[in-house]
Amino acid sequence: MLSPHIDYQRGGLAYARTWASAAEAAREAELIVVFATDHNAPTNRITLTRQHYATPYGVLPTDQEVVAGLAAVIGEEAAFADELHHISEHAIELPLTWLHHMRAGAPCRVVPILCGSFQPFIEDARNPWDDATLNAVIDYLRPVVSAPKTLVMASGDLAHMGPAFGGSPLGLVERAQVQVADNRLIENLVAGSAEGFFCAIKDEGDRRNVCGTAPFYMALRALSPARGVRAAYDRCPADDHNTSVVSIAGVVMG
């Protein structure tokens, strides 16, 4: 599933619709593999942790075996160089709290993976599907995520536009344009097309500041082949004058 990670006050309805659509999978899961945006990481960095995640419902233990396997393919130093980012990164905390709520507080194992920016791939001629480290991570995870009662979750938001993000104020026309461009991204997400999703981002030069690029791409690669359904969409206000927006979506894959 692809979940927002915006604050609950603005994104609560989209969270609720997304997690309601994945309620059965959330309740039955024994392992959750989480790909989430690392808002502070160097570009193209996969960051792991051996520490556990706490929510208001209790503790979700990190699967040490899977983390050790990932660290072996990434390299121990690179895998944990930015581990402290897990302390303050809301991209994993917020959706994991929804997960734990859907499970009525019952714990399950998690694999928390922070994904750094794909900006070098967007700006250069390189593509993420040619990156040896990313491919090694995907190759390791495919048998993990194909196991019964395993849920893959990608945590990310879509566009960040307007004065709050260094852009021009958005009116009705600009807001409609945001939704049209978002629909193109969501169509690729629903189709399970990691390459199509990334190419749509690259075609627009990521001028809309989509923060879910890396985790959404990684989740689609790990799940391939898979298709999904659109569970939620919203454009949330991002300044006091309602001239900036953050757009969010929820997709549940099958």
**pLDDT digit string (tens) for 138-182?**
999 999 999 999 999 999 999 999 999 999 999 999 999 999 999
Can you give the pLDDT at residue 125? 76
Region 2-253: CATH code: 3.40.830.10
Contacts of 130 (CB under 8 A, 6+ apart): none
* DSSP state at residue 62: B
Backbone φ, ψ for residue 165 (5° rounding): -120, 25
Q: At what angle do helices 132-145 and 213-223 cross, to 10 degrees?
A: 50
Can you give the pLDDT at residue 200? 95
Domain ranges of the chain: 2-253
Can you give the pLDDT at residue 211? 92
Rounded CA separation 95/34 (Å): 9
Can you give the pLDDT at residue 44? 65
Mean pLDDT across 19-48 = 92
**pLDDT digit string (tens) for 181-193?**
999 999 999 999 9
Contacts of 140 (CB under 8 A, 6+ apart): 69, 70, 73
Tell whether pTM > 0.85.
Answer: yes
**pLDDT digit string (tens) for 59-108?**
999 999 999 999 999 999 999 999 999 998 999 999 999 999 999 999 99
Rounded CA separation 212/118 (Å): 10
Contacts of 5 (CB under 8 A, 6+ apart): 36, 37, 90, 91, 92, 94, 95, 155, 156, 157
